[in-house]
Amino acid sequence: MYRLLFALVVARVPAETVHHLTMRALRAIQTVPGLAPLLRRLLAPRDPALAVRAFGLDFPSPLGLAAGFDKDAVAYEALGAFGFGHVEIGTVTGRPQPGNPRPRLFRLPLDRAVVNRMGFNNAGSEAAAERLRGRGGATIVGVNIGKTKAVPEAEAVTDYVASARRLAPFADYLVVNVSSPNTPGLRNLQAVEHLRPLLGAVREAADHAAGRHVPLLVKIAPDLADADVDAVADLAVDLGLDGVIATNTTIGRDGLRSAPELAAETGGLSGAPLKDRSVEVLRRLRARAGDRLVLVSVGGVETADDVWERVRAGATLVQGYTGMIYGGPLWARRVQLDLARRLRGSAFATIEDARG
| Binding region for FMN | 67-71, 91, 144, 177, 219, 247, 271, 300, 321-322
278 is catalytic: no
How far apart are the C-alpha atoms of 233 and 289, rounded to whole Å?
6
DSSP states along 138-150 = S--EEEEEE--TT
CA-based nearest residue to 113, from 228, 232, 258: 258
Catalytic position from the list 61, 180, 258, 278: 180
Encoded amino acid at 72, one letter? D
How far apart are the C-alpha atoms of 10 and 330, rounded to whole Å?
16
How far apart are the C-alpha atoms of 106 and 112, rounded to whole Å?
11
CA separation, residue 47 to residues 80, 247, 278, 353 (Å): 16, 27, 27, 15
Are 314 and 295 contacting, i.e. CB atoms less than 8 angstroms apart? yes
Encoded amino acid at 83, one letter? G
Are 284 and 76 contacting, i.e. CB atoms less than 8 angstroms apart? no
CA separation, residue 207 to residues 6, 145, 164, 210, 212 (Å): 44, 15, 9, 5, 5
Binding region for substrate: 71, 116-120, 177, 182, 248-249
Strand segments (E) across the chain: 52-54, 57-59, 63-65, 87-93, 105-108, 113-116, 141-146, 173-177, 216-220, 243-246, 268-271, 294-298, 317-320
Q: Which residues are catalytic?
A: 180
